[in-house]
Amino acid sequence: MIDDLQQTGLLMEWLKELLPFETLVSAGLARTIQKEQPSFRAWQRCQVQELHYLGDEGGITCHVAIPGGGDRILLASITNLVVDPAMPLAREVAAYQKRRIKRLRRSWRTAA
């Protein structure tokens, strides 16, 4: 298992209490958004509106409203988002991201 279901469930509950919250997207995700929306900049704040858990395959996934994107919603893994360090759960989110990325890399190496 990549995620600890108990820890992840608890983090999801806490994050849902903060909805909606602001975030930034990673540089890689910003480049992807810019292909369809050239005016988008990586430093623009986006708003997470919903959260879902997509199992080990997807982890915590966020519905992100992109500024200037109209009604379009981006589905993004929380590992591709950067939360404000002042956010109440910033440390917990960073720990989840670090742990998930580490375990994904390990699972990819063993699968190859």
Residue 109 forms part of a structural domain: no
Q: Is residue 92 part of a domain?
A: yes
Q: Is a pLDDT exceeding 90 seen at residue 109?
A: no
Structure pTM?
Answer: 0.87
How many domains would you assign to the chain? 1
Q: 14 lies in a domain?
A: yes
Tokens representing residue 68 in the block: 């200037």
The boundaries of the domain holding residue 95 are 5-104
**What percent of the residues of the chain are helix, what percent strand, and what percent coil, each to the nearest 5?**
45, 25, 30
Assess if residue 30 is contained within a domain. yes
Q: Is residue 71 part of a domain?
A: yes
pLDDT at 4 over 70: yes
- CB under 8 Å to 10, separation ≥6 — which residues? none
**What spatial distance separates the first Cα and last Cα of the chain, rounded to whole Å?**
17
In a domain, 11, yes or no: yes
Is residue 84 pLDDT above 70, yes or no? yes
- Please state the rounded mean pLDDT for residues 43-64: 94
How wide is the angle at C-alpha 26 spanned by C-alphas 21 and 28, nearest 5°? 145
